[in-house]
Structures are given as C-alpha cells and as structure tokens.
Amino acid sequence: MSKLEPPWAVDEPDGSNLENCAVVEGPLKMADARCDEQQCVVCAVPRRPVWKLLGACERYHRNTHFVALQDPSEGFLFRGYSDYRIVRDGSQWLWWDWRNSQTVATLSSGVNGVPIGRQDWRLTRPMCGQTEGETRRLLLTPCPADFFSCDDASCIRLYQRCDLKFDCRDKSDESGCQLVRFPPVYRPDLPPVVNNRNNESSPLPVTVRVIIESADVDTPSMHMHVNLNVSMTWQEARLNFLNLNEDYTLNRVPYETMREVWVPVIDFTNTKGIHITQTDHQATMVVSMHGKPRLGDDTSPEELEVYPGPENPMSVRRKYSITFQCQFHLKMYPFDEQFCHLELTMLSASSRLLVFDEVGTSAIFEGNPQLVEYFVGDVDIDFHNDRDFAVMIVKLQLLRRSGFIIMNVYIPSLLLLVISYLTLYFTPTNFQVRVLASLTSLLVMATLFTQASSSLPKTSYFKMVDVWLLSSIFFIFIIIVLHTIIDRVREWEPAVQTNASSAPPMKLGETTPASSEKSSSSNTVHPTTETGEATGDRFIHCL
C-alpha cells in the first residue's frame, strides 16, 4: 500500500508536531495548521480526547498534552504534541523523551495496569525542585476545562470540588481541600498594605458588621448585657485562594490555616472587664468569591482556579456575650429616652494602617425589641477614624416603658393625694380620724418614695419621679397642718362664745371689776383682812 502525499504548498509542512491539521490554501495546495484554529472545513473527523499531564512543572502546554493511540509496532501509548511519549515497557510505564532518548519518570505499578489518573511516579531527572530518585505525584487526565479530575481520571464539575459531599466514585474530591495559598514570605503579625494608584500606602478599611441578638438592661447599675455576633471583613492582598465556591459557606478556612492568617483585633472598650475579639475554635473564617479566577499552573497535580486576594475578601465571625457600661441621664425618669454606647477600638495597628470602613460597616438589632424596662429603637454608628486608633461607637436607643412606674408609683400616689384631700371634708369633730387618714397616706407615700429611690441609680440631681413624690409628701404634710389648725380654732371658739354671752353690756368708759380691783390694788396699800373680805363680798355680789 503506497503512502499518499498531499500536494503541499511551498515551504509546507512547517509546523512539525505543533500543527497536526491540514488546510487548503489554493488550488491543489495544502498547508499544515494548528488544530485549535477556526477554519472552514470540507470534512470533519471526530477529535480524539486530549490527555493532560499535570504536576510536571513544564513551561509549555505542548509538553504535557498527549493523545492515546494504538500503534501497530509500539502498542498502546500516549503520544505527546512535542518530544514526549508515555509508553509501556514490560510491567512499568515510562515517560519518555524520544528526541533526547531519555526517561523522565517511571511508574512501576499503575492502577488497573494503566497510567491514567493521579499516581506516584519515580523521577529519573530533577523536576519541580525535586531530585532524581524522588517520588512525585502526577495526574494524567482527559477532563476538559472547568472540570475536576478524580483519582481514577473520572470527571466532575469543578464547583463540586470540596462542597462537603462526595461526588467522585473514589471519594477523592473531598481530599486535600486547600483553600489558601501563602506566599514564600508571609508574616501574620503584620497587617496587609494597600497601595493606591500613586503607589502610596493607604489605611486598610475593615468592614465590621454587628448583630445584637439580645439585650438585658440593668438601670440601677447602668449596665447592659448583650449577646452579639461580630463579623470583620477585609482584603488580604498577600494571599491567593483556590477553587472558591459561589456559596461562601463552603469556603470555610480550617482552624489550622486560620491561625496562620492575619486577623484584625478589636477591643470592646466600655465593658465590665477586658474583652477583645478572638480567633479560636468558636470563630468561623470564610472567603467570599467576588472576582474572576485565573487558571493554575502545572505545579499541582489537579485542576486549580486561583482567585487573587484583593478581589476576594476574607471574613471572620464569632459570637460574644459581654456586659457594657452605659451612661444614663435620668432627669426625665420615667418618661425618658436613653442611649447605651458600644465602643469598639481597633488594636491591631494605628489609624495610619487600619480604619473602619464607614460605607460597609453596619449594626442591627435582631432580638426582641420589647425589654423589661425599655423598648429598643434605632441603632446608629459614629466613626472616629481620626484618632490614634480607629474607634467606632454603636449607639443603641432605649425608649422607657413607663407603664410599670405609672401603675406602681403614680397611680397609687395620686390616689393617696385624693384621699388626703378628702379628709378636709370629714366632720370637724372627728379630728383623730382625719389626722390618722392623713398620716397613713403620708407613711405610704414615704414608702413609695423609698422604693422608687432604691430601684434607681443614686444621682446628685432630682428626677421627675422624685419631684412628683416629694411634692406629694409636701402636699399631704400641708393637709395635716391644716387639720391641726382647724382643730385648734374649733377649741377656741366655744370659750370665746361662753365669755361673750355671760358678761353684761358695758357703757362707754366703764371698766370691769377686775380692772378696777387691779387699778386700786396697784395704787393703795393692801387693807386689813376684814376689808379684804368685804371687798371680796362686793366682787362676788357684782358677779
């Protein structure tokens, strides 16, 4: 059988093993071309699957692309696009450089007798920083782009890699899930540096999200105990991330890796004790996929999508249970409105390097807004990035629920005032009843004042409830004084009326016997006893 030679054009074919397809350039003139170029074809032949060898650290893809063939003389083999072949030599497989007549690596015992899939090869020349004689894991796979190769060379979608469920038949898709790739030099004690367009460093913005799940306010001690979730998000430009998923919950960083990553530290300033954010087993670190990936190199025996750190932010989240110290102003108690501040200070670095992101930072209250004494209102944030260390203050509005105070203080005291006032309409002869009712009201009012004062912080100023109770006590005291005055006046009136009715009417210029006697006794010497008796008889006779 004679070999058919096509009518090649001048200087054709010239592509060697890189151009394996033929095209028509002119009348009866042929030329070789790359098979991945788009051309108008006369006829189409099914393309054989291309096998890729990953993990070989080769510079050009043509050195790692192979086609499976059944050669009459050499048997079954994988022929490369360049100088490499993978052939069978007895019981082992050879990665053979036919141009230099040199073996690159050998596979002694292939799985199921074939070199496909992810297997360990023994190097016969240096590769990827390893020396001759060492073992290196290589992957020979037919999977196209956007697919992941299982250990047995079967293919699954790349997004199914490390999604917390087995998709490969050999369950290899959930093994070796590396999410973070560190640079050769990385220090977790130094914050990332952000460079602007003028190549000048600027502060790294840290986005903080505070979710208050519950709150318990103690007014007498001015403390508020809260359960809150704090989430911090930032961009780590020094890291790269591998094979991210659109569902950020699947991009969770393991605890061992999380300990090696830089994480901002925030101090809860106005707390009872010392409290800072922590990165421990209770913390969760995830990576959000926002940017587009680039394909990984051939240094790893698996398909990789590399996501740059500046485009894909990291987040760490943890739950805290902390008691904050509040400053309440109780002048209008119980019809007051309070604000409790949650002050957060950045401790990892000064504001020259780290600041709070004023655009993305948020704080919300997701618990039951109806507390025992208050109703939770709006939540606002104040930023102070101009201080030495950046500070953000979460202001929680607390509206007083005054129903309890009205029912237990104002209504009883108002009733006592009415009762005290009604004692003024009691029968005037019942002095003891009137005074006893007023005194009882006064004692109960004093008890209410004591109870109300004990349930509130001790302040140097008067509160509205204090003014009300003190005024009520003073009002009842005035009523008691009025009762006393009325009773004394009532006792004086009968004596005056009796004296006025028994004395005869006197003419102008006359004096009473008593006044005449007083006048005569003051101007004369006392008479003898008989004279005195006579005088007394005349006084009695006059009466």
Read off the pLDDT of residues 512-531 as tens digits, 9 standing for 90 and up.
444 444 444 444 444 444 44
What pLDDT does residue 3 have? 57
What pLDDT does residue 513 have? 47
Distance of CA 169 to the CA centre of its chain: 41
Quick one: average pLDDT of 378-401? 95
| Range in 13-27, 117-131, 199-213, 500-514 with the lowest mean pLDDT | 500-514
State which H helix or E strand residue 209 sits in.
Answer: strand 204-218
**Closest-CA residue to 481 (of 439, 418, 445):** 439
What pLDDT does residue 519 have? 43
What pLDDT does residue 540 have? 31
Quick one: average pLDDT of 175-182? 90
What pLDDT does residue 359 have? 94
What residue type is assigned to position 166 of the chain? F
Work out the number of other CB atoms within 10 angstroms of the CB of residue 313. Answer: 19
Quick one: average pLDDT of 126-139? 91
The region that residue 112 occupies, defined by phi over 0 for left and psi between -120 and 50 for alpha, beta otherwise, is left
What pLDDT does residue 525 have? 42
What pLDDT does residue 503 have? 53
DSSP state of 111: G
Question: Which sequence spans correspond to the domains of the chain?
Answer: 7-47, 50-142, 203-400, 403-492
Share of the chain above pLDDT 90, in %: 53
CATH superfamily of 203-400: Neurotransmitter-gated ion-channel ligand-binding domain (2.70.170.10)
34-75 pLDDT tens trace: 777 776 666 666 677 899 999 998 888 888 899 998 888 778
Query: How would residue 199 be classed by pLDDT, with cut points 50, 70 and 90?
Result: low
What residue type is assigned to position 390 of the chain? A
User: Three-state SS string across 102-152, please?
Assistant: EEEEEECCCHHHCCCEEEEEEECCCECCECCCCEEEEEEECCCCCEEECCC
d(CA 96, CA 78): 10
Using the predicted structure, report yes or no on whether residue 445 has a pLDDT greater than 60.
yes
Using the predicted structure, report yes or no on whether residue 454 has a pLDDT greater than 50.
yes
What pLDDT does residue 524 have? 40
Quick one: average pLDDT of 88-94? 87
Residue 487 or 236, more confident: 236
Sole residue written with tokens 């009604």: 422
CATH class of 403-492: mainly alpha
Quick one: average pLDDT of 94-117? 88
Using the predicted structure, report yes or no on whether residue 537 has a pLDDT greater than 50.
no
d(CA 362, CA 269): 18
Two structure tokens written together for 371: 């507390």
What pLDDT does residue 45 have? 62
Residue 109 or 533, more confident: 109
**Closest-CA residue to 277 (of 292, 261, 293, 266):** 266
d(CA 15, CA 236): 45
Quick one: average pLDDT of 317-321? 96
Can you give the pTM of this predicted structure? Answer: 0.73
